[in-house]
A and B are shown apart, each in its own frame.
Chain A
Amino acid sequence: MTDGQGGLFDDGESRAEEADRTDLGAAPAPDLTTDPTYATRLKALLSTAPLHELDATKGLRAAGGAGWDRLDLTGLSLSAIDEAVDHMGLVGDGLSFDSLADALTAVALLHDGGLPAGEARRAAGEVVRLLLNDADNRRAFVRGYADPGAGYERLRHTFRLLEERDDPERGVVVKASREAVNLIKCALDQDLEDAQVANAAVLRSQMLRGRIDAATATAREARRLSNLYAEEIVRALETTRRDIRRAGWDGTVPRLLADALAHLAARLADTNELLEHAQRHLAGGEVRSEPDERTGRELRSAVELVDLLEDCRRTHSALHARLLDAYPTFLEEQDRQVFARPAVVIDFSPWPDLLEPTLALARDGASEVVSAFFRAATGPAVPRAFRLAGLLDSLLRPPLVRGLDLPDDEPELVLREVVERRFSEDAEEAAARVLGGLRAPTRLSDLAASARAEAEGADHLVVLLALRWFAPERDDEGDEAGGFTRRRFSTLRLDVVDDGTPLHDAVFGGADLLVAPCAADGADASLGAVGG
């Protein structure tokens, strides 16, 4: 059939043919594909194909004997995408491959508690690698479909599910692709903006009725929605920034900015109000004494609710700041791009159109191509400057004898991990327990004593770490703990104060410092500044 949309006007003959084929009897076959959302929905459906293929080959992927029968790999895939979306916001460090695999391992163990941890981790890794399309060098997935808009011509739908991206600030992070985000959005069946407004209304109603558990679930959704919205806006900004001519300055960008700013202002007001309400609820809960099991659970829910809403507020604020910054940037970019050379568009495929023909060339021609390519692809090299100190060395070096028959094989060098370790593992663990478990200000003498009781040398390490936070040095300055230990304790934050009490200890002298867990959360403080 060549005229896909013309079904209504077909003559009787072809309609009879159609009826014959589809066995629908005399009634005219309605064109089920005229729905304008058909193609979009079809593509969404196709994007789930790799997930089903994964589940279908489950038996082959499990290691011999260890069954994955109870694992729902499709469900794990969805969890992986959710996890990626939850980390896509503008705040935080982003999600690494390993932390995603860790999170999925925990989910896999929920599916099947009897699964060995190693096997659960393997399954989790397998799911992430599939979603990244590792098997095909991480290229986009390609699935074919018949497009009703183009006379049922076979077209290719290319898409990704998860992708690793080189974030300028955070390095390599895992993100959900636009198509994966669409998959989640299709499940929403609404514009993100509308979904956010609806979500806030539900949240408000749940909180007013004191249904904190339900409100927490809704707030989780709210955080996901704000991440999705931020992602959508940031991508739009990026595209525009890269090529204003392509994105169009015909009012699209100013409108996008104005709409987003208005929407965000409303979101921020909403979120602040909800947050205030949740905090009041939390304070009320804490005042009530003797928490029973039910109120205990409610309290935990309320704490999570406040955290989730805080996340939303931070994302909104960060996005708001970016949008405010965007307008002048666009004006500058527009200026710049009018005069700059146009963006390069590569209209040939390097493998078949450049590499293969070069391989087929005679040596001389091929040499010219690869020389030009090499110079352009590897970036500049800085020539070594002449140094007198180096000259003496090179003059004293014995001359290189050419033609000498030396063994050709270069020695196989094996990389050995050199660990500079000044404290035993036991001591490090004891110190981590003692300092990690700090809840209130404690005397250094008490800390040293409890560390000493746990492991030999642990007291030295505890004192060192306390001193380190009493007078923090830059990392590259003298460091008695050694690099390995330093790295291990890199996340530890302490507040250390000298109130003049002398230290009475058999080993150490000086002041009996007061050591407390760090009160100011660095991330919070800096984000608060952005929000304000």
Chain B
Amino acid sequence: MGHGPVSEGRLANDVGRLVAFGLRPRLRPAHSEEYRDLVRCFQADQRFRELVEGVCEGLGLVILDAGDYGLVLGGSEDSVFAWRLEDYKSGLSVEERLLHGLVHLGIAAFCYPSAESLDVSEEQVVHTVSAAAVERDLREACVRLQERLGKDDVPEASPELERALALYLAQAATKDAQARARKTTLGMVQTALEKLAEQGLLVEVSDADGGTYKTQARYHIQVRELAAYEGFRVLAAARRGR
């Protein structure tokens, strides 16, 4: 295995194909011999690896893992491939965008609540996650936190000083309150789970509890290798700036 004396054009073609595979997260090397060979090349051939890394860096992609689950990529801040909350759904208000973001953070924390659950050895362990359970746990956490921290009196003119949890609690969980189906927090969790499944990070199991899903190893890699620290880094900065 490995690239012997092949032409540069051929090598560039291989690099391009591997990156293209990485951008199709639902595809696994086990399903495609071509993909499997390219991943093996990446692991075994230093020259090829350096080329792939260079191309990815240029595209603003971070290589999180290259192995049995394929080339797992993350988008850096200014990459054209980065999926931003601003592009998540059209026509979202700033508040709604925050709620959708909280829901995504909530789903990840629900699946991997502790440091141990994000250990490399836990990578293959499959967790089940349902929309109803995530909504319930998130809401309970907000209620508990509000009790502990007390309710802040925020000037009516500057609602942005309000805690994020108050925004969550103000949003109805389900449709009872005549709210729009997709604008309830349960609806938001459902949307998020669907999107994560489209990204190959979860698989749908059944309709039970508002939609039940199972985690894929790829989600573990994504949260462990990039998201957890990214979130933590920005959180620390935000708290320092307060």
User: Residues on A close to B: CB < 8 A?
Assistant: 134, 137-140, 158, 160, 163-169, 172, 239, 242-243, 332-333, 335-336, 343-383, 408-410, 412, 415
Given contacts A168-B69, A365-B242, 20 further A-B contacts (CB under 8 A): A140-B116, A332-B43, A336-B49, A349-B113, A350-B118, A355-B141, A360-B163, A363-B160, A363-B164, A363-B167, A365-B238, A369-B105, A370-B98, A372-B231, A373-B231, A374-B104, A376-B74, A379-B73, A379-B199, A382-B23
> Could you say which residues of chain B place their CB within 8 Å of the CB of A333?
43
CA–CA, A163 to B127, complex, Å? 9
The interface centre, meaning the residue of A239, A355, A383 with most chain B CB atoms within 10 A of its CB, is: A355
Given the complex of chains A and B, what is the CA–CA distance between A351 and B149 in angstroms?
17
Structural contact, B180 and A409, CB atoms closer than 8 A: yes
- 22 interchain pairs (CB within 8 A)? A137-B128, A139-B113, A166-B215, A166-B217, A168-B30, A242-B120, A333-B43, A346-B229, A350-B228, A352-B113, A357-B239, A359-B142, A369-B101, A370-B102, A370-B105, A371-B84, A377-B108, A379-B74, A379-B83, A379-B218, A379-B222, A380-B61
Q: Whole-angstrom distance from the CB of A437 to the nearest CB of chain B?
A: 34
Partner of A355, one of B73, B79, B105, B124: B105
Interface of chain B, main secondary structure: helix
Interface residues of B (CB under 8 A from A): 22-23, 25, 28-30, 43-44, 46, 49, 61, 68-69, 72-75, 77, 79-85, 87-88, 94-95, 97-98, 100-102, 104-106, 108-110, 112-121, 124-129, 133, 141-142, 145, 149, 159-165, 167-168, 180-182, 195-196, 199-201, 203, 207, 214-218, 222-235, 237-239, 241-242
* B residues less than 8 Å from A172 (CB atoms): 126, 203, 214
Within the assembled complex, what's the spacing in Å between the Cα atoms of A363 and B159? 8
A381-B163 contact, Cβ under 8 Å, with A351-B113, A359-B142, A409-B181? no
Q: How far is the CB of B186 from chain A (nearest CB, A)?
A: 14
A53 to B231, CA, bound (A): 39
Closest 9 pairs between A and B when the two form their complex, measured CB to CB: A370-B101, A168-B68, A377-B227, A365-B238, A366-B164, A381-B83, A376-B227, A373-B231, A164-B126
On whether the beta carbons of A166 and B126 are closer than 8 Å, the reply is: yes
Contacts of A352 in B (CB 8 A): 113
Which residues does chain A contribute within 8 Å of B126, judged by CB atoms?
A: 138, 163-166, 172
Kindly list chain A residues whose C-beta atoms are within 8 Å of the C-beta of B118: 346, 350
Give the distance in Å from the alpha carbon of A377 to the alpha carbon of B202 in the complex. 12
CB-CB < 8 A to B116: which residues of A?
140, 158
Whole-angstrom distance between the alpha carbons of A352 and B106 in the complex? 11
The residue in chain B whose Cβ has the minimal distance to the Cβ of A408 is: B180
| A344 pairs with B225, CB closer than 8 A | yes
